[in-house]
């Protein structure tokens, strides 16, 4: 159940990270779409799959059945080759526990097996991220170049959880430069998750060069995880972004960071901002900074 909860929490965190855009006027959203039928944000459920429901005891089951201990490591590894997709996915998730390094080679085998169900492979990437060990980086490096968008998306997210400088490098050199904007979006989320100072210039690159407003908006949001003059300078520039959703989020991030430099940037932004929601975000953040 712990692994299923982790997957749900991870998916929800991305969804919640983008919910602020939903309050923007519909006309503003429509004007920012690129091409017909484009989506506002990556379809998380489609890319990662819906976590399997926790099995509950039936009416004829003994109460003790619901309290059975978790399968052993050997049983879990055996389940990786089960004919049942749900059983394989459950095993993959069980292997994804913080610091449980011995599960890495087994998860890597699932992740890199291209004839395996894509959602099971995505689960494997996510579980490698949850383990969080640097030994997972080499495997995730391989899957970051996978032909499947689903796998690259999950891999980018997973790299944000791995405590290794190489993970930041991969996100900067490949993730935010992927051909598909869903993957670039995931990489931008992950850069914020790393909490590593080296992620800041990469997020600045996204703000300056990314064509998709959704990805730039996430870069502004991810920068809230950092402090310092350079970070505030990047967010100050983002207050002049062509898209109001990016300006809105940049203002919110400046409010979270706080400090006199942030306050100066917000005051200057208020003088030129014409979008009503972005203006409200600036005012709200100014109040937060003053109270800190």
Q: What is the DSSP string of 82-113?
A: -S-HHHHHHHHHHH--TT-GGGHHHHHHHHT-
Using CA atoms, how far apart are residues 137 and 128, in angstroms rounded to an integer? 9
Mean pLDDT of 50-59: 39
The pLDDT of residue 15 is above 50: no
Using CA atoms, how far apart are residues 150 and 215, in angstroms rounded to an integer? 17
Q: What is the pLDDT of residues 130-140, one digit of tens each?
A: 999 999 999 99
Mean pLDDT of 15-31: 38
pLDDT at 166: 96
Domains of the chain (ranges; CATH) run 1-19+39-53+71-196 (1.25.10.10)
The pLDDT of residue 23 is above 60: no
Using CA atoms, how far apart are residues 18 and 12, in angstroms rounded to an integer? 10
Per DSSP, 162 falls in state: S
pLDDT at 68: 58
Q: What is the pLDDT of residues 217-256, one digit of tens each?
A: 999 999 999 999 999 999 999 999 999 999 999 999 999 9
- Select the more confidently predicted residue: 146 or 14: 146
């Amino acid at each position: 159940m712990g692994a299923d909860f982790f997957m749900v929490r991870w998916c929800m965190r991305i969804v919640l990270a983008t919910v602020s855009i939903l309050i923007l006027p519909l006309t503003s959203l429509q004007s920012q779409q690129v091409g017909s039928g484009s989506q506002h944000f990556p379809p998380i459920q489609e890319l990662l799959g819906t976590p399997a429901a926790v099995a509950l005891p039936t009416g004829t089951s003994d109460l003790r059945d619901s309290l059975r201990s978790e399968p052993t490591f050997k049983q879990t590894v055996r389940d990786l080759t089960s004919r049942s997709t749900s059983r394989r996915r459950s095993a993959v998730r069980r292997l994804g526990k913080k610091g449980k390094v011995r599960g890495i080679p087994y998860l890597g085998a699932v992740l890199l097996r291209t004839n395996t169900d894509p959602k099971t492979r995505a689960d494997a990437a996510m579980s490698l991220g949850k383990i969080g060990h640097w030994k997972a980086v080499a495997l995730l490096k391989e899957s970051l170049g996978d032909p499947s968008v689903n796998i690259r998306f999950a891999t980018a997210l997973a790299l944000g959880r791995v405590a290794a400088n190489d993970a930041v490098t991969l996100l900067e050199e490949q993730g935010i430069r992927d051909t598909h904007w869903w993957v670039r979006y995931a990489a931008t989320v992950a850069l914020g998750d790393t909490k590593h100072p080296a992620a800041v210039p990469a997020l600045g690159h996204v703000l300056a060069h990314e064509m998709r407003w959704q990805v730039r908006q996430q870069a502004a949001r991810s920068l809230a995880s950092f402090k310092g003059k350079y970070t505030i300078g990047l967010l100050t520039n983002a207050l002049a972004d062509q898209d109001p959703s990016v300006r809105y989020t940049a203002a919110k991030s400046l409010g979270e960071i706080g400090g006199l430099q942030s306050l100066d940037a917000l005051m200057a932004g208020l003088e030129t901002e014409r979008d009503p929601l972005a203006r409200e975000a600036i005012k709200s953040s100014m109040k937060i900074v003053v109270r800190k």
